[in-house]
Amino acid sequence: MVKKTLFREMFIYNIMIVILAMSLTAIVLYTQLGAYFKSSIYKTLDSRAEQVSKMSGYLIDAGGGMEYARGLSEVMSLIGNDEGQGFIITDVRGNIVVGVGFSERQLKKSNVAMEAILDSVGGETVAREGDLGGALDKKFLYVTTPLRTRRGIEGAVIVCSTVPYIQNMQLGVMKMFFFAVVFVIMLTLLVAAWFSQRIAKPVKEMTLVARKIASGDFTQRVSRDAEGELGLLAASFNQMTVALGEMDEVQSSFISDVSHELRTPMTIISGFVEGVLDGTIPEEEHKKYLEIVLSEIKRLNRLVNDLLEMSRLNSGKIEYKMVPFDITESVRKAIVAFEQSISEKKIDMEVDFENDAMSVVGNSDSVYRVITNLMDNAVKFTPEGGRIAIKIKTLSGKTKVSIENSGNGLSEKELNHIWDRFYQTDKSRSSAKRGAGLGLYIVKNIMKAHDNEIYAESEEGSWTRFTFELDSVKNK
């Protein structure tokens, strides 16, 4: 079985289109040529019939009897010796008086049917196709015209095409057309082969590259030799390959990071539980280590919840219901939630609200999560006795919420990566400051779903500030 290829199919389709087009052209040309040649022959026959009629009438007026017949026959032989034409003269009853250009086989009867000459005997010239009522052996094109003398109409002159003249002319033209078609098809074969190869080559290359990409090799690229749509397709294909490579790296990194984040607390939990069970850890210290286990379990729970939230955000399945709510109330609730941690670290809280109540449009639950995530980071990275400042103000139809904390701050490099999944600014920080590195990633996507911005600023060794904005509700 011959393997189908794009080149082969395009090549065959091109040839089929050319052959079909040429065949239709041949049919139309043959038909139109027949109509044209028939019209042309009728004009020629009409002109010749007029000549014969005038000459015959002159001879009849000048003589008579057998000499008249013989003279007319000789004159008609001279006039009508053109290939493909024959002449018949009849009396008013249809009897053939003279016939020139016909063999005995062709001229089957000595008279023609009256319906063939009736119009001409009546004084009209008529063009028809037929066998003169059986007088001829087959159908011919013929023109009948009145035979006029001084005495009036004495018969009819019939000029016929005695051979399939039209078919001969048609076939002659069609032969030339056939040779032209053969030349065109041969030329088309070359052009179609070149054109098909030109299109099939980049597609074939893309197929090979796609197979390698499917096997995991994302370093492959398609050459961009083609122009137009194929060139754009090649460029888009390469962009897709780059994106797939990046996604593969992200996926690998994601699996590695998740595995690491899950392994650490599970190792701690497993070790402490085993220590309690086998008696390695004294009974009086069980509570202490069980509290650590509980803390790690809560950490695992937060990680799982963050992973689920991240998955929902990435899938685009979350449709937030946007309604007006008081942003100052959400911030107050978050401060209360962290009140114990703030007190333990003796953090100085500074709150500056432009108004006691400030309405914004958004999803209150998801915005509250943004605030608590930012507050959690602020509390964790603010040194004991440090400062956290929260400000809310309205500017150009936007309500801006900023949460600033004192501390080590972030470097420019860290600012460029803090929104990445699993990114942690301090890889060596204590367990108290550990997290999965998903908080800011989720915060960024929540704000993206609100069609609003969040950004970070920092002065290394001094402070860090996160600011997000929401659409303000105009007071009526």
Q: Would you state the pLDDT for residue 71?
A: 60
Structure tokens, 2 = 């011959």
Domain count for the chain:
3
pLDDT, residue 430, reads: 40
pLDDT at 378: 92
High-pLDDT (> 90) share of the chain, %: 16
pLDDT of 39 reads 79
Do 299 and 325 sit in the same domain of this protein?
Answer: no
50 and 148 in a single domain? The answer is yes
Average pLDDT, the chain: 78
Q: What per-residue confidence (pLDDT) applies to 219?
A: 73
Contact by Cβ (8 Å): 61, 70:
no
> Picking from 231-240, 313-322, 329-338, 442-451, which range would have the lowest pLDDT averaged per residue?
313-322
Quick one: DSSP state of residue 82? S
- pLDDT tens, residue by residue, 76-131: 555 545 556 788 888 888 888 888 777 777 888 888 888 888 888 888 888 888 88
* Mean pLDDT, rounded, for 209-219: 74
Q: Which domain holds residue 371?
A: 319-472
Long-range contacts of 11-15 (CB under 8 A, 24+ apart): 11/192, 11/193, 11/196, 14/188, 14/192, 14/195, 14/196, 15/185, 15/188, 15/189, 15/192
- In terms of domains, do 104 and 40 share one? yes
Beta carbons of 199 and 14 less than 8 angstroms apart:
no
Contact 452, 385 (CB under 8 A): no
Q: CB–CB of 388/345 below 8 Å?
A: no
Q: 147-204 pLDDT, tens per residue?
A: 888 888 888 888 887 655 556 666 667 777 777 777 777 777 777 677 666 666 677 7
pLDDT at 424: 63
CATH number, domain with residue 139: 3.30.450.20
* 379 and 464, same domain (yes or no): yes
Q: Is the domain of 130 the same as that of 264?
A: no
Given 258, 279, 312, the domain boundary residue is 312
Please say if the pLDDT value at position 348 is more than 60: yes
- Give the model's pLDDT for residue 401: 94
Are 67 and 117 found together in one domain? yes
Q: What single letter denotes the amino acid at residue 468?
A: F
Averaged pLDDT, 441-470: 89
Number of H helices, E strands in the chain: 11, 12
Separation between Cα atoms, residue 230 and residue 62, nearest integer Å = 86
CA 99 – CA 76 distance, rounded (Å) = 9
Q: Where are the alpha helices (DSSP H) in 286-326?
A: 286-315
pTM score, whole prediction: 0.47
State yes or no: pLDDT of 411 exceeds 80.
yes
pLDDT at 332: 93
The pLDDT of residue 350 is 93
pLDDT above 80 (res 243): no
Which residue reads 């086989």 in tokens? 105
Confidence at residue 79, expressed as pLDDT on a 0 to 100 scale:
52
pLDDT at 432: 44
- 465's enclosing H/E stretch is strand 463-472
CA distance 71 to 62: 11
Q: Is residue 193 in a domain?
A: no
Q: Does 254 or 275 have the greater pLDDT score?
A: 275
**CA pair distance 453, 401, nearest whole angstrom:** 11
Domain for residue 189, yes or no? no
Query: Residue 240: which CATH number?
Result: 1.10.287.130
Half-sphere exposure of 462 (CA within 13 A, CB side): 4
